[in-house]
Structure 1
Amino acid sequence: MDSNVVDLIMNDHRELERIFDQLMNQPDKRPSLVPVMIALLTAHSRAEEAEVYPAASDAGGEDDVEHSQKEHLEADQLAAKVAETDFDSPDFPEALQKLIDAVKHHVEEEETSVLPGMREHLDAARLDELGQAFLRSRADHLGDMPEDITKAELEQQAANVGLSGASGMSKGELKSTLEDQAEE
Structure 2
Amino acid sequence: MPKILPAAGGDVVEIILADHRWFEEALRELRNVRSDRAAVLADLATVLIAHAEAEESKVYPALRHKDAIDADEVEHSEHEHAEGNDALLALMEVDDTGSEEFSEKLHELSEALTHHLDEEERDVLNPARTDVAEGVRRKLGDLFAEERARLIESGCGDIANVRKVVAAEQQN
TM-score, with normalisation over the residues of structure 1? 0.78
Aligned to 1:76: 85
Structure 1 residues 147 and 55: CA distance shift in structure 2, 3 A: farther
Task: Report the Cα offset of residue 110 of structure 1.
Answer: 0.5
CA contact (8 A) 2:84 2:113 kept: yes
| Higher relative contact order structure (alpha carbons within 8 Å, sequence separation ≥ 6) | 2
Amino acid at match of 1:113: D
1:56 corresponds to 2:63: yes
Higher helix share: 1
Distance 2:105 2:99 in 1: 10
The yes-or-no answer on 1:148 pairing with 2:161 is yes
Query: Secondary structure in 2 aligned to 1:144?
Result: coil
Offset at 1:175?
A: 4.0
- Between 7-16 and 59-68, the greater mean CA deviation after superposition: 59-68
Conserved? CA contact 1:52–1:130, under 8 Å: yes
Question: C-alpha displacement at 1:31, in angstroms?
Answer: 1.6
Q: Secondary structure at the match of 1:113?
A: helix
2:170 to 164, 176, 179: 176
The partner residue of 1:137 within 121, 143, 147 is 147
- How many residues are treated as equivalent by the alignment? 158
Q: Which runs of 5+ in 1 are unaligned?
A: 155-171, 179-184
Matched-pair contact (CA < 8 Å) for 1:4–1:124: yes
* Correspondent of 1:109 among 119, 129, 132: 119
Identity of aligned residues (%): 32
Residue 100 (structure 1) aligned with residue 110 (structure 2): yes
SS at match of 2:21: helix
Q: Which runs of 5+ in 2 are unaligned?
A: 1-7
Q: Is the 8 A contact 2:91 2:106 kept in 1?
A: yes
Distance, in Å, in 1 between the alignment partners of 2:131 and 2:161 is: 33
